[in-house]
Structure 1
């Protein structure tokens, strides 16, 4: 592969990848790909179309033709803002189930790589640096302790008015981590050349600073 430069950011849910990627993309004026949202969109579209979550062929058809666009913090499906609808815990769990299916992952590869256009792309996901963009100019694996990720998610959902349990979120995050790490197709793991950042004791401004400093060191910020 070749073309526009890519910053690939992988890691488990709740580590802060989404905020990091949005801020870096905004700072550089680069495009943004939230690959996790794509799997959530497949799960959402499946529910609307009456496609079962174990119907690999049916889900693959939905995945290949997803009319998706990212605009700031908005996720648009065929022009409809579904940003809130895809962020529920139920949708997240269904997305994790869908992401285990090889047919769905294969169907989404071309769609994801199509986001790689000038001036550059910030790609947020779990296999961006290992599978989708193995030649990315910079790879980051952002992680944090499961308890801290659950606490952050709990605070986020409470602020949005959701009735959630911290202990329940902690258990769900640990379960999802295991499922993502143990799946046969594109398991969650750092790329060999990734910069691993543990954000447990860092705020988002510190993480953004570390990433931008490293991008500057690698001369990847000339597109600003």
Structure 2
């Protein structure tokens, strides 16, 4: 698929550890279109606001600091005010900050504006927690990935080991349970599938199996293939 083709937007949502980022990135490569990880945007903002010591309840300070933030994305690398923060924001503590600050409407509006601007003129796969429900509700197709909490914790644990982190499985399991609760119960854009989303349980599926399911859905909707 090339940029000359009709612009398509694919939303992939799901909880932490469901595989949405891996699937979204691989899908974008197959379709030869752009990929955007919305969670990275929240992590960057959470990192910056925490770095500046901003209390989430101090909305005036939040608003002022948000104006200082300039985020650029090049070759799947994320830059905050020209600093490459791609690896820095992968830390689980930054994930907790992202979850906390994402409950602020000013922050969500900032992220949503970035995503909408990027996806306005280009075909793209965007993953997150409310892409299909709030950010890009007119997406050509909406996918919601899920998996058992034990499997999601196992995946995160293995990722942490690859990055030489010493987190225990039980610690990661507890963190994911907390993230699930925060994301699902927040009043602002809670984590849930869009009404017209295709739900895929990835617990016992390989990456290729999930991708094949999505590609078949795209073919059925005549978004991909003959």
How far does residue 69 in structure 1 lie from its aligned partner after superposition?
2.9
Stretches of structure 1 that go unaligned for 5 or more consecutive residues are none
CA distance in 1, matches of 2:202, 2:48: 33
Shift of the 145–210 alpha-carbon distance from structure 1 to 2, 3 Å rule, reads same
1:96, 1:176 within 8 Å by CA — same for their partners in 2? yes
Question: For structure 1, which segment, 186-195 or 105-114, has the greater mean C-alpha deviation from structure 2 after superposition?
Answer: 105-114
Alignment correspondent of 1:12? 15
- Flag the 1:57–1:205 CA change in 2: closer, same or farther, 3 A: farther
Tell me how far 1:61 sits from its aligned partner: 4.1
Shift of 1:159: 1.0
Q: In the TM superposition, what is the alpha-carbon distance from 1:148 to its structure 2 partner?
A: 0.5
Counterpart of 1:161 in structure 2 is 164
Worse-matched range after superposition: 175-184 or 25-34 = 25-34
Q: Which residue number in structure 2 is paired with residue 97 of structure 1?
A: 100
- Equivalent residue, structure 1, for 2:30: 27
Paired residue secondary structure (2:127): strand
2:47: which partner in 1?
Answer: 44
* CA distance, structure 1, for counterparts of residue 87 and residue 28 of structure 2: 21
Q: How many residues are matched?
A: 221
Distance 1:178 1:58 in 2: 27
TM-score normalised to structure 2 length: 0.91
Listed as ranges, the matches of 1:32-111 within 5 Å are 32-63=35-66, 66-111=69-114
* Pairwise CA RMSD: 1.9
The equivalent position to 2:151 in structure 1, one of 116, 124, 148, is: 148
Counterparts in 2 of 1:217 and 1:43: CA distance versus 1, 3 Å: same
TM-score under structure 1 length normalisation: 0.91
Tell me the secondary structure at the aligned position of residue 15 of structure 2. coil
CA gap 1:123/1:38 in 2 versus in 1, 3 angstroms: same
Tell me how far 1:75 sits from its aligned partner: 2.0
Q: Decide whether aligned partners of structure 1 residues 81 and 169 sit closer, same or farther in structure 2, where only a CA change above 3 A counts.
A: same
Change (3 A) 1:60 1:104: farther
Q: Tell me: CA distance 1:145–1:86, structure 2 relative to 1, closer, same or farther (3 Å).
A: same
| Partners of 2:127 and 2:60 in 1: CA distance | 25
Structure 2: where are the runs of 5+ without partners? Answer: 1-5
